């Protein structure tokens, strides 16, 4: 675990900063208070050629240029702007290998695996892939409309396998992304680029509804929801994977390439050692930032950090979420439910009767609010925060002086809550 007790001092007040959007914001800690600063484990960056080494030595399959040798068309799936994956760092190497296999630029598509996230603008697409590649290759957003997907079958748990038609029609399919813990399926990456990344909204909704029956632990993959996702491979093979592990600055910590399952599993130990941390006790007050941009761009994504803070907050304790949320809710259904359905308990009842993708984030928030008092410092509208059950604050440091002034309270600050998965250390 990384717990740090070191800060600068000014007039008896301890000063540190935490990420907020594309900048940071100072925290003035009351005199005599020593909060635990909880970070994910910050290991030394990987060698600069770690991506190249992963591609040269793939796990469980032939090198990319040999695996694609008999194919005429290819599709590369990449992450959107809400993820930390630095796609521009490896797309050139992937394209070179596809060229060696005989696949030309005009027969390659790069698709942003959005799932149901919002479309990326042209400027964002350029930022994701780099200007040179954007000019050469067809780069496009995934569409989760059923008419833009092809129905391939149904999984054993009843999930319709409906995948983007351009992904289905390509002869060679490459998935990319970054590996980090994930509340729904244990670990991101792997199959997630193709499902839910390029699935229909109906398919994604059914798979995510399984969370009402099954749960997972951060850093593990042995859960029915991921198994349901990976069953998609029975209907549509993935031919090559490249996943990276990065820190909050997108610096490379490692890379794996090869078979979509075996290469993905090879990266799990580094994920667990990096992002899952043990803490010695629960806390009375926890201040958490998702980690700034892009983790706090919208509330839809920031809820992950809120849940991570909840895992180490005492029952009845206080959480302060510091998240810019410049895109506010980040999902239209989420917003519609909060602002039109009269009572949160009614929202939860309706979600129990029928899972609704997007609105399901209300259930995640409710799990936290039933155990803790939640404050929010944000650009998110105060009225909307109140409708959610949060307590908006305008003066961050006044709040800290009020909530942390009692020295006997156990307090913690998590600057990168979207990447830090704290767990109570077993007795």
DSSP state of 362: H
Q: Domain with 299 in it: what CATH number?
A: 3.90.226.30
- Residues 214 and 301 placed together within one structural domain of the fold: no
Give the total number of structural domains in the chain.
2
Closest CA to 419 of 259, 305, 272: 305
Q: Domain with 212 in it: what CATH number?
A: 3.40.50.11440
- Residues 353 and 377 placed together within one structural domain of the fold: yes
Reading the block at residue 336, the tokens are 């519609």
pTM higher than 0.85 for the full model? yes
- Residues 68 and 214 placed together within one structural domain of the fold: yes
Name the residue range of residue 402's domain.
2-34+280-424
Is 43 contained in some domain? no
Kind of pairing, strands 313-322 and 2-4? unpaired
- Residues with Cβ < 8 Å from 98, sequence gap 6 or more? 64, 65, 68, 74, 108, 172
Which of 273, 291, 317 is at the close of a domain?
A: 273
- Residues 24 and 56 placed together within one structural domain of the fold: no
- Residues 380 and 360 placed together within one structural domain of the fold: yes
**Cα(125)–Cα(203) distance, integer angstroms:** 25
- Residues 253 and 399 placed together within one structural domain of the fold: no
DSSP reduced 3-state for 202: helix
Kind of pairing, strands 313-322 and 283-288? parallel
Answer yes or no: are the C-beta atoms of 307 and 421 closer than 8 Å: no
- Residues 73 and 205 placed together within one structural domain of the fold: yes
Reading the block at residue 82, the tokens are 């809400």
Is 41 contained in some domain? no
Which of 273, 298, 315 is at the close of a domain?
A: 273
Reading the block at residue 232, the tokens are 């998609």
**Cα(181)–Cα(204) distance, integer angstroms:** 19
- Residues 266 and 288 placed together within one structural domain of the fold: no
**Cα(160)–Cα(158) distance, integer angstroms:** 6
- Residues 166 and 298 placed together within one structural domain of the fold: no
- Residues with Cβ < 8 Å from 344, sequence gap 6 or more? 362, 366, 369, 388, 389
- Residues 10 and 148 placed together within one structural domain of the fold: no
Is 305 contained in some domain? yes
**Cα(290)–Cα(38) distance, integer angstroms:** 13
**Chain position carrying tokens 């409906």:** 162
Is 189 contained in some domain? yes
Which of 273, 291, 309 is at the close of a domain?
A: 273
- Sequence length of the chain is 427
Is 176 contained in some domain? yes
- What string of pLDDT tens digits covers the 427 residues of the chain? 444 443 333 344 455 899 999 999 999 988 888 899 999 998 888 888 999 999 999 999 999 999 999 999 999 999 999 999 999 999 999 999 999 999 999 999 999 999 999 999 999 999 999 999 999 999 999 999 999 999 999 999 999 999 999 999 999 999 999 999 998 999 999 999 999 999 999 999 999 999 999 988 889 999 999 999 999 999 999 999 999 999 999 999 999 999 999 999 999 999 999 999 999 999 999 999 999 999 999 999 999 999 999 999 999 999 999 999 999 999 999 999 999 998 999 999 999 999 999 999 999 999 999 999 999 999 999 999 999 999 999 999 999 999 988 878 999 999 999 999 999 988 6
Closest CA to 274 of 302, 254, 294, 303: 254
- Residues 58 and 82 placed together within one structural domain of the fold: yes
CA distances from 33 to 26, 174, 200, 281 (A): 16, 50, 50, 17
Answer yes or no: are the C-beta atoms of 252 and 45 closer than 8 Å: yes
- Residues 247 and 316 placed together within one structural domain of the fold: no
Reading the block at residue 110, the tokens are 């790069």
């Amino acid at each position: 675990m990384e717990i740090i007790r070191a800060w600068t001092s000014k007039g008896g007040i301890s000063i540190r900063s935490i990420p907020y959007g594309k900048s940071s914001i100072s925290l003035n800690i009351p005199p005599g208070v020593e909060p635990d600063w909880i970070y994910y484990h910050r290991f030394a960056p990987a060698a600069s050629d770690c991506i190249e080494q992963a591609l040269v030595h793939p796990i469980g399959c032939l090198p990319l240029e040999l695996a694609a040798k008999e194919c005429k068309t290819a599709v590369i799936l990449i992450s959107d702007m809400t993820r930390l994956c630095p796609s521009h760092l490896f797309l050139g190497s992937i394209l070179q290998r596809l060229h060696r296999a005989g696949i030309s630029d005009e027969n390659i598509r790069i698709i942003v695996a959005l799932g149901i996230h919002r479309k990326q603008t042209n400027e964002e697409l350029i930022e994701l892939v780099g200007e040179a590649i954007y000019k050469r290759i067809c780069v496009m957003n995934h569409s989760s409309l059923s008419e833009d997907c092809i129905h391939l079958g149904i999984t054993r748990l009843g999930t319709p396998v409906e995948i983007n038609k351009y992904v289905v029609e390509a002869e060679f399919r490459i998935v990319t992304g970054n590996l980090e813990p994930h509340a729904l399926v244990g670990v991101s990456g792997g199959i997630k680029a193709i499902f839910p990344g390029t699935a229909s909204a109906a398919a994604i909704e059914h798979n995510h509804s399984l969370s009402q029956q099954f749960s997972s632990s951060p850093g593990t993959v042995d859960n029915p929801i991921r198994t349901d996702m990976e069953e998609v491979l029975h209907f549509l093979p993935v031919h090559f994977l490249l996943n990276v592990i990065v820190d909050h600055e997108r610096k490379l910590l490692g890379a794996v390439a090869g078979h979509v399952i075996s290469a993905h599993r090879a990266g799990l130990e580094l994920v667990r050692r990096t992002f899952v941390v043990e803490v010695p006790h629960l806390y009375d007050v926890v201040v958490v930032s998702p980690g700034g941009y892009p983790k706090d761009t919208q509330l839809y994504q920031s809820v992950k950090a809120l849940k991570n803070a909840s895992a180490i907050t005492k029952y009845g304790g206080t959480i302060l979420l510091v998240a810019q949320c410049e895109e506010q809710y980040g999902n239209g259904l989420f917003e519609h439910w909060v602002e039109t359905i009269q009572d949160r308990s009614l929202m939860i009842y309706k979600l129990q009767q029928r899972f609704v993708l997007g609105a399901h984030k209300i259930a995640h928030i409710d799990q936290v609010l039933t155990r803790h008092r939640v404050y929010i410092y944000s650009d998110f509208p105060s009225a909307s925060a109140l409708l959610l059950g949060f307590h908006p604050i305008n003066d961050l440091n006044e709040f800290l002086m009020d909530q942390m002034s009692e020295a006997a309270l156990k307090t913690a600050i998590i600057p990168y809550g979207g990447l830090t998965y704290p767990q109570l250390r077993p007795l």
